[in-house]
Amino acid sequence: MTRNVAIIGAGVSGLTCGVVFAEHGHDTAIFAKDIGQETTSSVAAAIWFPYHVEPAERVIPLALETYQVLFELARFPETGVSIIETRQFSRTGEIEIPEWASPLGASFIATQAERSLESFKSGFSMRVPLTDTTIYLDYLTARFHKAGGEIHAHVRFEKLEDVDKRFDLVINCAGIGARELMHDADLEPHRGQVAIVPKIESLSAAIVCDDAPLMYAIPRANDCVFGGTNDLSENLAADPATTQRIVGECSRVLKINKPPVVAERVGLRPFRRSGIRLERDRLTDGRSVIHNYGHGGAGFTLSWGCALEVFKVAASSR
C-alpha cells in the first residue's frame, strides 16, 4: 500500500529518508525552510566518524550500516563519496582505538613514521567514507526527484499538525529546528565554524584532533575544509578571529604557509543531551510521526542507518 509521506527538513537526514521512501514507491514530499547549500548539512566536513553523538550502543550500529552504504556509493564518482584515510590524534596522551573501529582496519600510527605526530602525542588511522557536501547533497536531491519525490522550500511549520492532512505519515528530520518544533529542551545548538581553503596537493589524508583546540583538515576533490569549533551557541555569523585561529592551527600542524580563505561557513550541530531521537509517536490529530533528529556532529555518519531504521519503524506501525 502506497503511503503519502511528508518529511520535515532537507538536510542529509531528510534527503536520505526521502530517497528510501520514494524509491520504495511511496508518494513523498520534503518540506524545509532551507535546502541544498543553505542547510546545516552543507557546512559539515562530512567525514564518516561517530562524532559528538550519544548513546554509543544506539548510534554505532546505525553508523556501521551507513558505512556499508557509503562504501558502495564510493564506487560511483558522481555521488561525491570517496574513501579516504583519516588520522585521529590526541594531544594529551595515548589515544584508544574504539572497539568498533578495529574490524574496520584501524591501527596505531607509529611515531617515527608520521611527521604530523610532532604536534600530537599519539594517533590511529583507518579508511572511511568522505562525502563531499558540494556534490553529495545535489546527488541525493537528484536521486530523490528521479524517484518521484518533491521538495518544497521556504516552508516553516509551527507544529507538525500543520502538515497537510493528505499526508498520513510525517517524518521529523528538522535537525536543530526540532528544538522549537517539538519544544525539546534536550536539543542544543553546538556551533561549528569552518574555513574553506584551496586544495592542498600535499594533503591526502584527513587530520583530526578532538582535544582542545578542536582541529581538523579534510581534503576534498576541489578544496579543503579547515576546522573547527564546537561551542554552545546559536550565532550563525562567521567570526573572523576564529577563522584566523582555525587557519593558523591547521597550517601549523600541516607545516604549510597559511592558505587564502575561500569561504567561511557556520552551522549548528543538533546535539541532544539524552541521545538521538528515533522513535514513532502520534500527532494530536491521530496521524503517525517518526522522529529522526539529535544526530550531533554525526548526521552524515548516521544518515543511511537512521533512514533505513525509520523505514522499518514505519512498516511495522501501519
Domains of the chain are 4-316 (3.40.50.720)
Which secondary-structure segment (H or E) carries 46? Answer: none
What are the C-alpha distances in Å from 97 to residues 88, 108, 246?
Answer: 9, 8, 26
CA distances from 32 to 4, 112, 117, 239 (A): 17, 50, 43, 27
Q: Are strands 288-293 and 150-152 parallel, antiparallel or unpaired?
A: unpaired
What whole-number distance in Å separates Cα of residue 246 and Cα of residue 249? 5
Question: Rounded mean pLDDT of 270-289?
Answer: 97
Please report the DSSP string for 261-298 in residue order: P-EEEEEEEEEETT--EEEEEE-TTS-EEEEEE-BTT-
- At residue 117, the pLDDT reads 60
pLDDT digits (tens, 9 = 90+) for 185-232: 999 999 999 999 999 999 999 999 998 889 999 999 999 999 999 999
Residues near 316 by beta carbon (within 8 Å), at least 6 away in sequence: none
Does the global pTM surpass 0.85?
yes
CB 131 within 8 A of CB 300: yes
In the chain, what is the greatest distance between 2 CA atoms, to the nearest angstrom?
A: 64
pLDDT at 104 over 80: yes
The confidence band for 119, taking pLDDT boundaries of 50, 70 and 90, is confident
Say what the pLDDT of residue 112 is. Answer: 53
Per-residue confidence band for 118, with pLDDT thresholds at 50, 70 and 90: confident
The residues, ordered by sequence, that sit 6+ positions from 45 with a Cβ below 8 Å of its Cβ are 194, 206, 216, 218, 225, 227, 228
Comparing CA positions, the residue from 193, 80, 84, 192 lying closest to residue 137 is 80
Q: In the structure, what pLDDT confidence band is assigned to residue 116 with cuts at 50, 70 and 90?
A: low
Selection from 11, 86, 6 nearest residue 44 by Cα = 11
The span from the CA of 258 to the CA of 210, in Å, is 21
Question: Cα 11 to the chain's mean position, in Å?
Answer: 9
Q: What is the pLDDT of residue 171?
A: 98
Mean of the per-residue pLDDT values of the chain: 95
Q: How far apart are CA 197 and CA 211, in angstroms?
A: 22
115 close to 88: Cβ distance less than 8 angstroms: no
Distance CA 106, CA 85 (A): 10
Q: What cell does 284 get?
A: 494530536
pLDDT at residue number 111:
61
What gap in Å lies between CA 140 and CA 142, rounded to an integer?
Answer: 5
β-pairing, 107-108 vs 122-131, is antiparallel
Give the three-state DSSP class for 197: strand
Q: Is 181 buried (19+), middle (13-18) or exposed (0-12) by CB count in 10 A? A: buried
Please give the pLDDT value at position 212.
86
